[in-house]
Amino acid sequence: MEAAASCVYVDGVGVGVEALCKAAGVSKRSMYQLFESKDELLAASLERRAPGFAGMFGLEADDGRSPRARILRVFELLEENSASPDYHGCPYLAVQVELKDVDHPAHRVAQKVKDELTAFFRGEAERGGARDPELLARQLTLVFDGASARGGARAEVLEGLVVPMAAVLLDAAGLRRLSAEAQPNAWETPSL
């Protein structure tokens, strides 16, 4: 499944079953014994990587930092990851854009993963005293997806672009900035 996930990440959901099986080192027959269809294999491979996604963006570790710092850390990590030549954007967003079918099992997995990201933002926004945590969380997820779409497609360089943007949204939502914390640079925003 790891091999299948990597294959889809590089080549998109249109990758053939033969290529998937070759990458995974299994016969088509074995694959169809394990999964009802390519759709199910795709969904399972995305589901398997979901904990890695949460880990990669620090959604799980509660390390005592402020809500503002935890939210901005997601975008710092996104900027850092996008600098790798292997970066092709968020696989969950890519699958949703490519499939164009909300009933596809892989679409549903992707939606769940992104709902968890939004829930993380909402929880931190609530802890941090944001005016409208739900709206802020949805807007932050939109920034995350916009950045990963443009960064992954090499339409944009994310470094220095995304963290200041998230900081502006946090400021406007009234998420308190602690003076002891590192300030996001590159944009002068009013402290609230």
Distance of CA 144 to CAs 75, 89, 165, Å?
Answer: 7, 10, 10
Q: How big is the CA angle at 141 (ends 140 and 144), to the nearest 5 degrees? A: 90
Pick from 7, 41, 130, 147 the residue near a second copy by CB under 8 A.
Answer: 147
Stretch in the footprint of a second copy (CB under 8 A) among 27-35, 44-52, 56-64, 88-96:
88-96
128 near a second copy, judged by CB under 8 A: no
Radius of gyration of the chain (CA): 18
Stretch in the footprint of a second copy (CB under 8 A) among 30-38, 48-56, 70-78, 166-174:
166-174
Q: How many residues bind a second copy (CB under 8 A)?
A: 51
Report the C-alpha gap between 120 and 136 in whole angstroms. 11
Residue that has been written with the tokens 């590192």 in this structure: 182
Stretch in the footprint of a second copy (CB under 8 A) among 17-25, 31-39, 72-80, 97-105:
97-105
82 near a second copy, judged by CB under 8 A: no
75 near a second copy, judged by CB under 8 A: no
Show Cβ contacts of residue 8 under 8 Å, excluding neighbours closer than 6 positions: 15, 20, 42, 45, 91, 95
Least gap, CB of 154 to a second copy (angstroms): 5
Pick from 161, 163, 177, 184 the residue near a second copy by CB under 8 A.
Answer: 161
Cα 56 from chain centroid (whole Å): 9
Report the C-alpha gap between 72 and 125 in whole angstroms. 11
Alpha helices in 49-161 (DSSP H): 50-56, 67-82, 91-99, 105-127, 133-152
Q: Is 123 or 146 the residue whose CB approaches a second copy more closely? A: 146
97 near a second copy, judged by CB under 8 A: yes
Token pair belonging to 27: 């016969």
Pick from 109, 145, 177, 184 the residue near a second copy by CB under 8 A.
Answer: 145
- The site for a second copy (CB under 8 A) is made up of 10-14, 88-89, 93-94, 96-100, 102, 107, 110-111, 114, 131-132, 135, 138-139, 141-147, 149-150, 152-156, 161-162, 164-165, 168-169, 171-172, 186-190
